[in-house]
Amino acid sequence: MTEPPRPPGAGDPDPNVPGSDEPTTPLSGAPGPGGYPPPGGYPPPTGDVPPSGGYPPPGGYPPPGGYPPPGPGYPPGGAYGAPAGYPSNDDKTWAVISHFGGPAGVVLGSGFLGWLAPLIALTARGQQSPVVRAHAVAALNFQLTWLVALLASVVLAVITCGLLFFVPFLVALVPLIFGIIGGVKAAEGTLYRYPMTYAFVKR
């Protein structure tokens, strides 16, 4: 029995077309013999390491040896400690107020109220914090010393019938300038030693 003739290209490899003798796979998406996907689908992934050429798991991988600790300049645990030279931030605030408040009182009170801010800092926080007490006492003694000098200069200006009217202004500049210097030093964590000061209040 003879096989009926087949139409051209119905299965015979064409010697003029390279690769025509290879088996063809269906294009409809149906798996061919031994094709993909395997029966039952893909197996679930195992482990954290994907196969070569795959993608990392959600969240990525930590670097080898784990993540590095926080670098210098960052406090551990994400919290900042007390400022340098002070047990707490409140102590630093009161210390700075005791120094900068002196010049502010000099300006607002025409030179006669520079002692008020150090006295407030001493009574409000000086009993709880020795650091604040040291700053407040230093500023208070300096402001009281120059308050006495200012009163003496005013009396001198009156006695001379205004001839030495400029002396009180010069005297008022001294607690203003040195009070600002003391406030800057206190902000840096240093207790400023005021010059020309009488110790009215003991530490």
Q: 41 vs 33, 34, 94, 148, CA distance in Å?
A: 15, 13, 72, 96
> Tell me, what's the pLDDT at 74?
44
- Per-residue pLDDT of 133-182, as tens digits, reads 999 999 999 999 999 999 999 999 999 988 889 999 999 999 999 999 99
Integer Rg of the chain from CA: 44
Q: Which residues contact 150 (CB under 8 A, 6 or more apart)?
A: 111, 112, 168, 171, 172
> Tell me, what's the pLDDT at 131?
94
The pLDDT-based confidence of 81 (bands split at 50, 70, 90) is low
> Tell me, what's the pLDDT at 202?
84
Q: 115 vs 99, 100, 110, CA distance in Å?
A: 10, 11, 12
- Which structure tokens are listed for 60? 């990525």
> Tell me, what's the pLDDT at 156?
93
Distance CA 190, CA 195 (A): 15
- Per-residue pLDDT of 23-32, as tens digits, reads 555 554 455 5
